[in-house]
Amino acid sequence: MTTSLPMLQVALDNQCLADALTSTRLVHEHIDVIEVGTILCVAEGVSAVRNLKALYPEKIILADAKIADAGSILSKMCFDAGADWTTVICCADINTVKSAIKEAKNKEGGDVQIELTGYWTWEQAEAWREAGIEQVVYHRSRDAQAAGVAWGESDINTVRKLSDMGFKVTVTGGLAMEDLHLFRGIPIHVFIAGRSIRDAQCPATAAAQFKQTIAELWG
């Protein structure tokens, strides 16, 4: 599903499939993209992807595998299990990126996102564009957030520059509803919220409020 408004993705970083299915059941009607989070991928493997795609075939399913090597084998495993999109980590060799893109092209709607967690350079960003990458995920890491790293002006400038380069930019990393306005004026492709939705007292209300705030700020 593509709209001019940023889409909303729920990150399922649950530690077992049963929990992930409960979270999804509560929020799916407000969500555009369902992410099988890295934590769930490690806990359950691609069977989590397979189950979620079977239950929600109309949703975009993202396998957040954060692939660092073996791009062809790992991305194919994700796509074959039903993922529409998967992620390659920014430190991966450009040949890993190219291998994953090649697999994505074998699947209708298949795509690869570069996960910008940690160190990367603008030179790499040019190389990703040249390799055919359209999507990047700008990510404040969970551990950086836990150590007190807050969203700042340099994050906003980087997101804007990535968008100006032609990337469809997803933003994530401990996002709260109150953070969304920081990115106003930038054509964000997807906002990801995990804990802010899953751990809310009422996850469905939290997801609906994210959607409403996105519509108010980008509508």
Task: Please report, as ranges, the residues that interact with ligand 5RP according to CB under 6 A.
Answer: 11, 13, 35, 37-38, 64, 142, 172-175, 192-196
74 is catalytic: yes
Smallest separation (angstroms) from ligand 5RP to the CB of 93: 21
Output 53 or 66, the one with its CB closest to ligand 5RP.
66
Residue number, nearest CB to ligand 5RP? 194
Q: Residue 80 CB, nearest distance to ligand 5RP (Å)?
A: 22
Of 103, 111, 115, 155, which residue is the catalytic one?
115
Strands 60-67 and 33-36 turn out to be: parallel
Is 102 considered catalytic here? Answer: no
User: 179's torsion region: left (phi>0), alpha (psi -120 to 50) or beta?
Assistant: alpha
Are 8 and 32 in contact, with CB atoms under 8 Å apart? yes
Q: Of the residues 29, 69, 126, 199, which is catalytic?
A: 69
Q: Is 199 a catalytic residue?
A: no
DSSP state of 219: -
85 and 111 Cβ atoms separated by less than 8 Å: yes
Task: Tell me if residue 139 is catalytic.
Answer: yes
Selected catalytic residue, list 53, 76, 139, 189: 139
Please name which of 149, 144, 145, 87 lies closest in space to residue 116, comparing C-alpha atoms: 87
